[in-house]
């Protein structure tokens, strides 16, 4: 599945303007499909495992902006954000930049994708 966002497209999120990069547009569909499967299983994935499982060239701590792009893509599709499925290995929780309530948002995701 492709993203509804295009390279160079801009959107506002968390008080900043984000421009979709070529790399985000290229890997976004793969990450989106992977996270949909995580949601269908009712699970979570660490930043590191996401990076390793998909052979992403992003450093694990650089995935936040990609998740913002995927969240906007979900929003435009009328779907809940997939971002709360990606968690920090040490804490088991979404990154501190996540704008929402990770646990309840995950439950909504599991229901949506089941």
Task: Give all domains of the chain, ordered by start, each with its CATH number.
Answer: 10-113 (1.10.10)
Q: What is the pLDDT of residues 51-104, one digit of tens each?
A: 999 999 877 667 999 999 999 999 999 999 999 999 999 999 998 888 889 999
Sequence-distant (6+) residues with CB within 8 A of 10 are 17, 18, 19, 20
Helix/strand/coil (H/E/C) assignment for every residue in 23-42: HHHHHHHHHHHHHHHHHHHC
Q: What is the pLDDT of residues 59-69, one digit of tens each?
A: 766 799 999 99
Contact 18, 69 (CB under 8 A): yes
Model pLDDT, residue 42? 97
**Phi/psi class of residue 90: alpha, beta or left (left: φ > 0; alpha: ψ in -120 to 50)?**
alpha
Helix (H, G, I), strand (E, B) or coil at 58: coil
* Phi, psi torsion values for 10, nearest 5 degrees: -115, 145
Average per-residue pLDDT for the chain: 93
Tokens 């435009």 correspond to what residue? Answer: 76
Per-residue pLDDT band at 13 (split at 50, 70, 90): very high
Predicted TM-score (pTM) of this structure:
0.93
Residue 7's alpha-carbon distances to 40, 65, 67, 76, in angstroms, are 28, 14, 15, 16
* Nearest-angstrom CA–CA distance, 25 and 49: 20
């Amino acid at each position: 599945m492709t993203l509804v966002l295009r390279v160079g497209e801009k959107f506002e999120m968390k008080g900043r303007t984000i421009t979709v990069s070529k790399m985000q547009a290229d890997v976004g569909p793969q990450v989106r499909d992977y996270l949909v499967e995580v949601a269908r299983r009712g699970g979570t994935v660490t930043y590191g495992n996401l990076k390793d499982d998909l052979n992403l060239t992003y450093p694990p701590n650089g995935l936040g902006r990609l998740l913002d792009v995927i969240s906007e893509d979900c929003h435009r599709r009328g779907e809940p954000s997939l971002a709360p499925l990606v968690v920090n290995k040490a804490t088991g929780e979404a990154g501190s930049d996540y704008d929402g309530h990770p646990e309840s948002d995950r439950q909504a995701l599991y229901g949506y994708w089941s």
